[in-house]
């Protein structure tokens, strides 16, 4: 009989969104918990036999008690079993977040905390989960090594659960510690090896996958925001792995050159094409080029409108300058030394002095306000 698993990892509960301030950041942070509810719902609807969480459930050992309670409360939405593995962020160290969760009495019965390298036998599903918890934040040795010699009762399907870097597979910067042998699934005769740590969904080999984080939390191209539905056929054949999108927020990194009025319009079109609902889109926008004061005003208006529509819009316009148009400067005819000052600021702005560009804007606005032009 086939076994159905929901493989997820790297929830990073309690982690903030550094670059995103205020209410937007709070909403994103809260979404991590909401996504756990989404996962529970998925597990329930897909009637999986177990949910395997491959480490970094919590972002840190020192999350608040309230955060711990909130997380375990969400797990009640699916009766389990849930197998939660300590990762490098929440390693099973002395007085760890897991110890605290147990002491708080927050862990429901259907939730297994895999803090020891010992088989967890799920009799009903005939599943033997072999966890390789990190008991230190950084383990120089491969903690999955014990899986090769793990003894499990007959009739149980062995599934590995680990958190770390598959050696020689990930980019160099991801391999600093916690190595995992790339052929561990084979050497340990595992039906499947569920991995965490890499935040994108990634297949390592036929029986080994990274699930990735279920809620996207950064501008990245590593394909995050999913969970894996894994079906282990009863005959010991290859697992069937199905990727399910679980993220609510989609993160976009855009770059837009702006020189003409049409460029501003084009930017509006790009923002409109990011997808619905717009309030679930998080955008990092880099602007460069030079606009006239009038076009800059249009741009400001456009951006103000989109700030209201998007979950979050971050704009980097340090490479964008304003230039006074002929019409702008013509308004200063007869303005005496004011025109001289404006012309000098315009020259400064064109020479790349950002303060001069802003100063020119201010001066022209003030001139109009004082009744000139």
**What are the residues binding other proteins (CB under 8 A)?**
14-22, 25, 59-67, 93-96, 100, 103, 136, 334-342, 344-345, 348, 353-363, 366-367, 370-372
Say if residues 97 and 55 touch (Cβ distance below 8 Å).
no
**Residue 93 Cβ vs other proteins, minimum distance, rounded to whole Å:** 5
Q: Which is nearer to other proteins, 25 or 182 (CB)?
A: 25
> CB 344 → other proteins: shortest distance, Å?
5
* Cα separation, 332 vs 342, whole angstroms: 8
Distance, C-alpha 124 to centroid of its chain:
34
Q: To which residue do tokens 């205020």 refer?
A: 22
| Shortest CB 103 distance to other proteins, Å | 8
* Comparison of 10 and 49: residue with beta carbon closer to other proteins: 10
- Which class for 1: exposed (0-12), middle (13-18), buried (19 or more C-beta within 10 A)? exposed
As beta bridge partners, residue 195 has 162, 210
Helix H, strand E, coil C: the string for 260-329 is: CHHHHHHHHHHHHCCCCCHHHEEEEEEEEEEEEHHHHHHHHHHHHHHHHHCCEEEEEEEEEEEECCHHHH
Shortest spacing between CB 363 and other proteins, in angstroms: 5
Instruction: Return the closest-CA partner of residue 228 out of 216, 215, 240.
Output: 240
Between CA 342 and CA 206 the distance in angstroms is 67
What's the min distance (Å) between Cβ of 316 and other proteins?
A: 11
- Describe the chain by its helix, strand, coil percentages, rounded to 5: 35, 25, 40
- What are the CB-based long-range contacts (under 8 Å, 24+) for 29-34? 31/215, 31/248, 31/249, 32/215, 32/217, 33/70, 33/71, 33/74, 34/248
- Residue among 197 and 317 whose Cβ is closer to other proteins: 317
CB-wise, 17 or 210, nearer to other proteins? 17
Smallest distance from the beta carbon of 361 to other proteins, in angstroms? 8
Residue 81: strand, helix, or coil: coil
Minimum CB separation of residue 235 from other proteins in Å reads 44
To the nearest whole angstrom, how small is the minimum distance from the Cβ of residue 217 to other proteins?
Answer: 12
Closer CB to other proteins, residue 256 or residue 322? 322
Instruction: Identify which of residues 175 and 353 has a Cβ nearer to other proteins in the complex.
Output: 353
Evaluate the omega torsion of the peptide bond into residue 306 and state whether it is cis, within 30 degrees of 0: no
**Smallest distance from other proteins to CB 135, Å:** 8
Nearer to other proteins, 49 or 356 (CB): 356
Shortest spacing between CB 9 and other proteins, in angstroms: 19
Our CB check for other proteins shows the closer of 11 and 156 to be 11
CA quadruple 143, 133, 37, 243: dihedral, nearest 10: 10
SS3 label, residue 71: helix
Q: What angle do CA 108, 72, 82 make, to 5 degrees?
A: 65
Q: Which is nearer to other proteins, 113 or 194 (CB)?
A: 113
Name 131's bridge partners.
161
8 Å CB contact between 90 and 60: yes
Pick 135 or 231: Cβ nearer other proteins: 135
């Amino acid at each position: 009989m086939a076994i159905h698993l929901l493989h997820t990892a790297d929830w990073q509960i309690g982690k903030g969104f550094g670059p995103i301030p205020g209410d937007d950041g709070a909403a994103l942070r809260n979404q991590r918990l909401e996504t756990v509810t989404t996962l529970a719902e998925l597990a329930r609807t897909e009637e999986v036999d177990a949910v395997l969480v491959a480490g970094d459930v919590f972002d840190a050992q020192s999350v608040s008690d309230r955060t711990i309670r909130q997380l375990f409360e969400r797990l009640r939405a699916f009766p389990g079993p849930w197998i939660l593995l300590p990762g490098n962020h929440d390693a099973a160290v002395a007085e760890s977040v897991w110890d605290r969760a147990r002491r708080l009495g927050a862990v429901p019965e259907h939730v297994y905390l895999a803090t020891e390298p010992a088989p967890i036998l799920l009799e009903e599903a005939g599943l033997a989960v072999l966890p390789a918890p990190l008991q230190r934040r950084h383990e120089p040795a491969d903690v999955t090594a014990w899986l090769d010699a793990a003894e499990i009762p007959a009739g149980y399907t062995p599934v590995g659960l680990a958190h770390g870097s598959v050696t020689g597979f990930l980019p160099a910067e991801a391999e600093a510690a916690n190595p995992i042998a790339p052929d561990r699934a084979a050497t340990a005769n595992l039906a499947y090896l569920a991995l965490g740590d890499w935040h994108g969904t990634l297949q390592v080999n036929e029986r080994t996958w990274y699930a990735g984080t279920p809620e996207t939390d950064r501008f990245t191209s590593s394909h995050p925001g999913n969970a894996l539905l894994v079906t282990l056929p009863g005959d010991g054949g290859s697992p069937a792995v199905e990727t399910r999108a679980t993220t609510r927020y989609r993160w976009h990194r855009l770059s837009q050159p702006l020189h003409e009025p049409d460029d501003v319009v084009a930017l509006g079109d790009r923002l409109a094409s990011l997808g619905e609902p717009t309030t679930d889109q998080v955008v990092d926008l880099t602007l460069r080029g030079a606009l006239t004061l009038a076009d800059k005003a249009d741009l400001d208006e456009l951006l103000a409108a989109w700030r209201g529509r998007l979950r979050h819009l971050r704009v980097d316009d340090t490479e964008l300058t304003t230039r006074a148009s002929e019409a702008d400067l013509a308004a200063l005819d007869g303005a005496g030394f004011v025109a001289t000052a404006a012309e000098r600021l315009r020259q400064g702005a064109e020479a790349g002095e950002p303060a001069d560009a802003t100063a020119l804007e201010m001066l022209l606005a003030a001139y109009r306000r004082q009744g000139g032009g």
